[in-house]
Amino acid sequence: MLKDSSKQAAEKNDKNKVTWGPLWAISLTIGIYLVTQVIAVILFFAYYYLLHSNGKEFNNWLNKSIYAQFFYVLIIEIQSVGIVLLFLRWKKATVASIGLVKFKTKDILYSLCGFGVYILIFYATAQALSSFVKSFNINQQQNVGFQTANNTTELVLTFFSLVVLPPIAEEIIFRGFLFGGLRKKMKFVYAALLVSVIFAMPHLLESQSGGLLWVAGLDTFTLSVVSCFLREKTKTLWPSIIMHSLKNFLAFSVIFLIH
């Protein structure tokens, strides 16, 4: 009986084993972000050029077409997750090593608690910064795309592009792959902070009016820290995926459903 228990524990640890370190984690995460976007732009430009024989209005088309934006997001997320899965296979690791294990009902409770903590920390910090730092604008608008969505089909595509696809892909990459690689060599606090800084940096560039979008940086940094804690506590990605989806659904509702 003891031998069976020991064998099961060994098999579980083997499935959860992280076979890569910080260098692979950081370099591949940055590479995924850059390469997938470049490939997506090339594919979409080629598609647009075949239809119109020139690319003069490409940016305008991509910014206004909800269908183009949806497939743009879809292609990027599929590429991103695909690269991680191929890397795991190359490193002889399983998806359990990045937290993709069997879903449990209690994961929902963890996600709701995490969401409450994230909201409290973010709004308290944002209010404090807006009071003491004049350049910090809590009302600065984020460019999330899909601004021309105005019917049911376009809103459904927007919902999947913002609320479903990014939380799954980003949690796999950042709190699964990146955090796992860093955590192999680093203490939790350092790994969580580094993951959160890397995760927040691209969101600084999403301002509608130009300049750095500090409120989005703070928002995503806070979300990431709480997500890392959930990942560490539960050994699964589901709570952070659900919490991330809740956060994006809140933003989706404010931008597209509440006028």
| pLDDT averaged over every residue in the chain | 92
pLDDT at 196 over 60: yes
Residue 143's pLDDT band, with cuts at 50, 70 and 90, is: confident
Q: What is the pLDDT of residue 5?
A: 52
Alpha carbon distances (Å) from 127 to 64, 122, 218: 34, 8, 11
* Other C-beta atoms lying within 10 Å of the C-beta of residue 152: 8
pLDDT at 194 over 80: yes
Domain boundaries, the chain: 19-257
- Assess contact for 218 and 119: CB atoms under 8 A: no
What is the rounded average pLDDT of the residues 122-144? Answer: 89
- Assess contact for 167 and 248: CB atoms under 8 A: yes
pLDDT at 207 over 80: no
pLDDT at 156 over 60: yes
pLDDT at 206 over 80: no
What is the rounded average pLDDT of the residues 136-155? Answer: 89
Q: What is the pLDDT of residue 259?
A: 61
Structure tokens at 207: 């301002």
pLDDT at 2 over 60: no
pLDDT at 129 over 70: yes
What is the rounded average pLDDT of the residues 204-222? Answer: 86
Q: Which residues of 189-227 are buried (b: 16+ CB within 10 A; e: fewer)?
A: eebbbbbbebbbeebbebbeeeeebbbbbbbbbbbbbbb
CA distance 221 to 215: 10
- Assess contact for 114 and 227: CB atoms under 8 A: yes
Residue 141's pLDDT band, with cuts at 50, 70 and 90, is: confident
By CB atoms closer than 10 A (0-12, 13-18, 19+), residue 133 is: exposed
Q: What is the pLDDT of residue 51?
A: 86
Helix (H) or strand (E) holding 48: helix 22-52
Residue with tokens 């077409």: 65
Q: What is the pLDDT of residue 138?
A: 87
pLDDT at 13 over 80: no
pLDDT at 179 over 70: yes
Per-residue pLDDT reduced to its tens digit, 67-118: 999 999 999 999 999 999 999 999 999 999 999 999 999 999 999 999 999 9
Q: What is the pLDDT of residue 76?
A: 98
